[in-house]
Each structure stands twice: as C-alpha cells, then as structure tokens.
Amino acid sequence: MRRYKLFLNGEFVESSSGKMIKVINPANEEVISEVPEATIEETKKAIDAAYEAQKKWEKLPAIERAKYLKKIADGIRKNAKMLTEILMEEQGKIRSLAETEINFTTDYIDYMAEWARRIEGEIIPSDKPNENIFLYKAPIGVVAGILPWNFPFFLIARKMAPALITGNTIVVKPSSDTPNNAFEFAKIVAESDLPKGVFNLITGRGSVVGEELASNPKVGMVSFTGSVEAGSKIMALASKNITKVSLELGGKAPAIVMDDANIDDAVKYIKQSRVINTGQVCNCAERVYVHEKVADEFIEKMTIAMEDTKYGVPLKETNIEMGPLINKNALESVKGFVKRAIDQGAKLLTGGEDSKFEKGYYYKATVLANCTQDMEIIQKEVFGPVLPIVTFKDLDQAIEYANDCEYGLTSSIYTQNLDVMMRAANEIKFGETYVNRENFEAMQGFHAGWRKSGIGGDDGKHGLEEFLNTHVLYIQYNTNKK
C-alpha cells in the first residue's frame, strides 16, 4: 500500500499531525493508499512558501516559465501508463477515459505554455495632451487550487498551468477521494527542477486545509471546482480578505431534441454525454427534452442504448463504458434520486440499483420517462448515470424548460434547422451550448457557468486572464522641455 508525504517548498515531508487519510478503490472498496491529514500550520507553511517564491517567479520572463511547464508535460508523457492506472484505481475511470485525461492534460499544459509570448496589455488614448496611458497585465500572487475528484489529474493542470505561466505560484489541495494522482504529479514537478515553493501540494480535511486556503490573507485567488454548497462556503471565507474567487460549481445540462433532429445521432451523443465517467461530470447531459412528435422513437432507442451500456471493474475488464461511482455516499445519493422520482410518477424504463458485484459502488445506466418539469430529478444535479426525459410541444416550451433551473453551465440542442439553432443560441441561458454533438469543451474555448454554476471560468484566452490583475500607468511628459 502506498503512503504519501506532503509536498511543501520543494520537499516531500511528513505531516506533524501523524494522522493519515485512507484512500479507497471504489471498484472493490479496498484501501489502496494513505495520505497525510495536514494541519493549519502546515497549510500556512505551504502558503508562505508560495508567497515567498512568487516574488522571484514573476520576475522570470514568461518564456522561461514556459520551459518549466513543458518539462512537466514531458514528465507526464513519460509516466503516462502509470498515471493512467493510478486514475483507474482511485477514481474508477475506465482505461480509455483515463488515458484521454492524461493525454489531454499534457496537451493543456503545452497549450498554456504557448501563451508566454501572448500575454498582452493595451495602449489607451488619453483625454489630456502629452500623456500616454498603458494597461499592463500582472500576476495576482498566490493561487489556491482546490480540486474535485471526477477529473482530478486534469484539474491540477487547469489551475496550475495558467497560474504559473502568468507569474503566480500555487498551493494545490486535491480531493481526499483521489489524491494519489496529485502526489505522482508532484513527483514529476520535483524532477522538473521547478523552483522551490512555486508548486505546493497539501492534503487534508476541507474544514482545516480548505478553510485556511480560502481565508488566508496571503492568498490572492482561490480557484475551486466542486459543489455549490462548498463553493458558497469558500466564497464567504474569501470575502474576509476580498480575495478573488473563480468557481466552477454544479450543472444540470438540458439536451433539447427537436422533431427534425437526427434521432440516431441524438441518442448516440446524449448517451455519451450521460454515461461518461459514470455520469459524474458537471457538463454532461443531465435532462432531456424531446419533441412530442419524435418522443416515442427517441425514448425507445435511448432505452435500448442505455440498457446496452457495459460496465465493470476498470482494472480487470476491457471494452466497458462505465466503472463505479466514486464512493458509498454517491451511490446512496443516486439511488435516492431515482426512488423519489419513481415515487413522484416517473417510469423506470431500464437501469436502477444493481447487485452484479458484491463490492464496489456500481449503478446501472438508467432511463426515466414520464418526468415533469417540477420533479426533483429534473431540477437537481444527480451526478450519476441517470437520464430523465420530459416531452415538449414547441421550441418556446423547450427553451422555457431548459432555462428553468438554478444552474447554467452547459446545454445542447439537436436540430437541422439553422433558425432554431440560432434562436436557441440566443435564448438558452447557459455558458456553453453544443449543437448536434456531445458535451465536451475545447481547451481554447472558455468554460464558464451562469447562475449557481459559478463565477469566472477556465481555458483559452479568457481563462488565462482570470489569473491576471491589471495595472494602468499614466505618463505625462513635457514637450516644451529643452
């Protein structure tokens, strides 16, 4: 069994607490590692190390900072097989998705490194004679990156790479459910000769480590991905110091299937967007609205597709589409959502609780028909492989239903009509809309939610600028000087 140490100021160190957190393989419920339960004092040490290191790091030319990022990306590529299996073991990912996450992470780091020569300011016209106004972009300082468990390896890079290339330093706190990949990432960082203190990794309870990261006055920005409840708490803690927050929270993505849609494509892509990572993705399709004219055909085909979903133990079985849910609480939550939906009148067409395995947190791909807009299963994020379906009469009603939600991260529509596409693009109130394709964002885009789905965003130019302050310089000069 692996036993990890904290990574503080360029060194792997034991926690003074002496306490360890057990990490469980969700496929078989076995303990696979232990990670330190850090103290408030150790969290402060990590922040202090990042704070001191940032003073020199920001003075290094961005192109030199980029070289370190590329070394880290190369180190990940060299260890891709090991990292893939770590992800499969601790998070329950199937092999193909774990491989995709590792490969996408390296490409993402390289992409962010390429911004080294593209961090630009502006020259602004002045209202005064003999004056120039310059707008500079400057690093914020210390970034706290608080990670989820569903894409734990990629989210390290999503927070670290833009932070470092823009001259910030970072303290990363992984989820206690999936910390192993983060420690392996830290080993690669250590081998890259990145200056001490630029990257720090600390594990522990959210009530200890997370609260200190969010409330410490030396932290300039908190970048968090997780639940609305945790995000709200982080926002409240950060408000004490008016610390900037960037929050990606929950989602309840609507998928609208119009009567002119290619039904086979809609079924294929919506299924992909529902069962990916066992439904544990903020941007995957969480509810389907299908036009009443094609509802019977769509529901029949979707039920067959979901029923055929292959699932199993990721490290033992190949050609599977799903692994287990992350933990027992997640399994119980999904079971509760489905039971309450059925009690409210939903019809279970396929799926439901599973007893295929004696151990592990498995749940079958599930389809629920006869759902209505007011049901909990339509309004609240399930975070499991459950697809509730509602029918609608026209586009007005579909858009109204789609927007009737406290979340606003991603959405999708299936239609061949350009007018419908454009109207949906203008009227669906979500940060992203996908047309006739699966729900998956591009690294050069901008992944950002509306309403309770978050504040700020990630990826591309606009995501990079989340990690920058602006500094405006006014220069008055005298043309009469001899």
- Taking only the tens place, the pLDDT of each residue in 300-312 is 999 999 999 999 9
Work out whether strand 131-139 and strand 142-146 pair parallel, antiparallel, or are unpaired.
unpaired
Are both 69 and 175 inside the same structural domain? yes
Lowest mean pLDDT among 212-221, 401-410, 473-482: 473-482
Q: Is 58 annotated in the active site?
A: no
* Number of domains observed in the structure of the chain: 2
Query: 90, 101, 212, 248: which is the annotated catalytic residue?
Result: 248
Label residue 59 exposed, middle or buried (CB < 10 Å: 0-12, 13-18, 19+): exposed
CA pair distance 375, 393, nearest whole angstrom:
19
pLDDT band at 478 (very low <50, low <70, confident <90, very high): confident
pLDDT band at 39 (very low <50, low <70, confident <90, very high): very high
Give this prediction's pTM.
0.90
Residue 455 tokens read as 């504040």
Q: What is the dihedral of CA 35, 40, 45, 48, to 10 degrees?
A: 130
Are both 13 and 72 inside the same structural domain? yes
Query: Angle at Cα 230 formed by Cα 8 and Cα 160, nearest 5°?
Result: 40
Are both 174 and 273 inside the same structural domain? no
Query: Angle at Cα 152 formed by Cα 148 and Cα 155, nearest 5°?
Result: 85
Question: Which of 410, 413, 415 has the alpha carbon at shortest distance from 447?
Answer: 410
Are both 218 and 302 inside the same structural domain? no
Are both 158 and 265 inside the same structural domain? no
The residue segments making up the domain with residue 175 are 1-248+452-470
Beta bridge partners of 244: 221
Q: Is the pLDDT of residue 227 over 90?
A: no
Are both 206 and 172 inside the same structural domain? yes
pLDDT band at 355 (very low <50, low <70, confident <90, very high): low
Mean pLDDT of the chain: 93
Are both 187 and 296 inside the same structural domain? no
